Structure 1
Amino acid sequence: MAMDMPTWCGACDERTRRFNLGDLERRCPDCHPYWAFGHHSIDPSRAPAGRAEQEQATRWLVYELVSLRTLPMTELRRRTSAFFDCGWTPQDIVHALDFDPDGSAFRSVPSTSDPPELTRRAVLNMLSSWCDEGGKPLASPTQLAAARRRKTRSRQQATRSVLAEIDARQVNPDGAVVSGAREVARKAAARAKQLKLEGRQRESSALCAALAEQQAQESKVQQALRRLDKAKFGVVASSGPAEQTQAGHLGTPRSNQAAA
């Protein structure tokens, strides 16, 4: 490796100083280089100022990104010093090595098995995407987020100022009379009352019409039933004597018929 590591404890991985837990990794608490290189005094969310802080920030990057450990410290610091001078933080560098400025992830990232030259070119290409045509670093993700927060606060402050100005206006006791608001409200209330009354009248008329139609239908049904009853009784009355005469003829003795 391009940097000196503390004495290996023998329990963790000698190269990464981490414990392999399958899908996860855990730093070795006995021999990880976090304390050895003074990383406890580094705030990754703050831009390093000066050569000493930039060197510590570079070591922090090497510790956090294992794939960068094949690069010499001088090479990595030379690639990141321009970004640190423009106010970039170590966390911004980590973001720049993972994503494009448009937010899309890189299709290829360096690996621990890559040779130093391939890693150097990959880091150069990824950091170059965050530079303008003149090679100057663009605004970092932290700076962009801070700009958005400032813009949001300015809009909120403008809104609060407008609302405070409205609240500070003196209320004219005769304003409603002058503006005609009371007259408009009175007419609106009368109109609403009239509309409510008309609606109730329409509803009552509709109910009365439905009731009258139902009664007429029931009357038609009753008349039809009465006609059917009359027709039935008439048929029975007319067929009664004929049936009796026929029964008498059928009941005449055969001797009488022969005598006749």
Structure 2
Amino acid sequence: MINIPAWARPTAQRFLDAGWHVSDVLHALDTRPDGSEWTYTPHRHGTPQWAVYRLSVWLDGFGQPYPPRSQVLAEQVARQDAEQQHDRQRWAELRAARLHDVEPAARRAREMLAAASLRAASQIRRREVQGQARRSQAGASEDQSARDREARMRWELLDEQAQAAIRAGAVTEVWMPPADEEPIDPRTLARERALAKARREKRNGSGVRDC
């Protein structure tokens, strides 16, 4: 019974036997069951009578200790956690139900507005057309992006083949300059032919061909 004064221990023992903690006993010595603090005791502080007087108000009509403060607080926390969990689950169910039902409800609302007002019907139809146009435009943008990626990959492969042809000097025809002109390096000519072919393929937008 550490922290409980020696003069209060005999009275506190029955509370400890009932499952109270030392902190519960110390709290009861200073506080009434309703939460108010003691302001007066008709016995001198530090005597067994003082402890008996204050702890006796924590006994029920059968002389049994009330549930300790620590137990009451633990039950409150557990109850609050359970209520919060229930609320979170309920809100999740409501959100899922709203998300599931939002499109049919919106469609019914549009139909009711369209039936009640020609102007509303015209506005609803215009918005539907605009929405379809935006979806079509988004789809076209995705298709164009896919085509751009494909073309970029195709030209990267073509450039690699052109560079390989340049390094290997693979040309089907070598142009020889007239005798009075300065000779041209065949590898330089091969490089120019390969680059010219790559540019021509790129302009025509055709597929990759062998060099």
TM-score computed with the length of structure 1 as normaliser: 0.38
Q: Which has the higher helix share?
A: 2
